[in-house]
Amino acid sequence: MSDKKSDNRLNKERSQDRKTGGMPFSVLLSLYIKEKPEYFLQCMESILNQTVMPTEIVVVKDGPVDGEVERVLERFTEEYPGLFKIISYEPNRGLGYALARGVEACGNEIIARMDTDDIARIDRFERQLREFAADPELDICGSVIEEFEEDPGRIVAVRKVPLDDREIKRYQRRRDGFNHMTVMFKRTAVLKAGNYKMCPLMEDSYLWVRMMKNRVKCKNIGEPLVCARIGKDMYERRGGVGYFFKYRAGRRKILGTGYISRWDYYCTLAAQLVVALVPGEMRGWVFKRVLHS
């Protein structure tokens, strides 16, 4: 690591004691074959330029990854020795399995999730750590997100979420009360709920309801702490009969927890069926103008 980068990291680590009570934390990411190197680079730069540096960054390689992505990861592990913990296996096992392995590997109680194509606001970790320092009973904290298609400076939508514990838990019955890429949570609370499990499309939703049944304390910050990448590919992935059947299977698992009613289950299925079957352009409009504000 260069002397300049070493000094910057040391200064940020010292500032962590001043701003957040010296609370150590891990960042958890999952990589897979379809990741684009330029997106991953932007993501990593946003993590490593935070006002408060993570104690460790756990990266799970879910099967083989693109060669360019591998080189980006190698570059950062060389520049920041001792910061990264890499877990790799073959073949691809899915996001639920990858994140479960990652949670188990994290060495700190506080874990921040991050998607490898999104961009964190420079003070994201500092803002969330303040909430945990102020409330020892807090178990999971997320935030609002801003959404962009190509240019992070051109926001096309905002996904707002309820802010307080009671409203988040009520909202979760039909829609996610958290933006997954923004959450910071306690490792023990996740493990007590059974950790992430295989549940395609709903690995996060399935975890949240199991945590909520354990009476965890929830909070969202009403400011956008992450810029999330969306676009035509995302809208296309969320369409078609195949997507709907996967969605239905995930909701059935959530119904099985007892957290939602059959009325909640059927209402969400009906809404999702309509969204899945409309043309892609209309689906994009629905996401940006109706589902998100």
Q: What is the pLDDT of residue 19?
A: 52
Q: How confident is the model at residue 18 (pLDDT cuts 50, 70, 90)?
A: very low
Two structure tokens written together for 286: 């629905």
Kindly tell me the sign of the dihedral angle through the C-alpha atoms of 44, 234, 204, 291: positive
**DSSP conformation class of 180:** G
Q: 72-89, pLDDT tens digit by residue?
A: 999 999 999 999 999 999
User: Is residue 12's pLDDT more than 70?
Assistant: no
DSSP-derived 3-state class of residue 53: coil
DSSP-derived 3-state class of residue 23: coil
Q: 118-153, pLDDT tens digit by residue?
A: 999 999 999 999 999 999 999 999 999 999 988 888
Helix axes 203-213, 95-105, angle to 10 degrees: 50
